[in-house]
Amino acid sequence: MLDFARKVAADPAVVGDLPLDPEGRTWVRLEGPGGAEAWLIGWPPGAETGWHDHGGSYGVFVTAAGELTEQSLSVPLPSEGWRSLELAEGLDRKRVLPEGVGRAFGRNHVHQVTNGSPSSHAVSVHAYYPPLPLIRRYSRKGSTLRLELVERPEEW
């Protein structure tokens, strides 16, 4: 999947066709490899996802234009049976992903992605396998991570 995302991110015709909105993120669904779900996403200046996971799917993303920052937790979290967790110190990780750089992640990955630029859009390519069954959204205050919402594909 990472090779697929890199190839799409390097294709100026695909990336250039994404409509960009100054107010919010935009996205277009792509034909993913081997049954994977894939998306091309536009990020206006300051846009962010908030803390979330991918419902047990493996994932990748590659920055196609601009620069994105990912904050993640370096510990697998239980996927069910909790509403609030107190996180130990030292679990936070931060990665800056400039154009052409991407990463893969596992089934229990919790992160947030941000376009920190005050003036430039970013564009990224994402792929997930199996296709996303849900997305869990979290709030975070200090070391407390709290489950706030579960979104299903029909809500996207």
107 forms beta bridges with none
Query: Which tens digits make up the pLDDT trace of 80-108?
Result: 788 999 999 999 999 999 999 999 999 98
| Pair 94, 114: CB distance under 8 Å | no
Q: Is the pTM of this model over 0.85?
A: yes
How far apart are the C-alpha atoms of 141 and 117, rounded to whole Å? 24
DSSP H helices, the chain, are 2-9, 12-16
Q: Helix or strand or coil: residue 155? A: helix
For the record, the structure tokens of 67 come out as 């620069």
Query: Which tens digits make up the pLDDT trace of 16-27?
Result: 999 999 999 999
Query: How confident is residue 125, by pLDDT bands cut at 50, 70 and 90?
Result: very high
Q: 58, 67, 52, 70: which is closest to 124 by C-alpha?
A: 67
For the record, the structure tokens of 105 come out as 């992640």
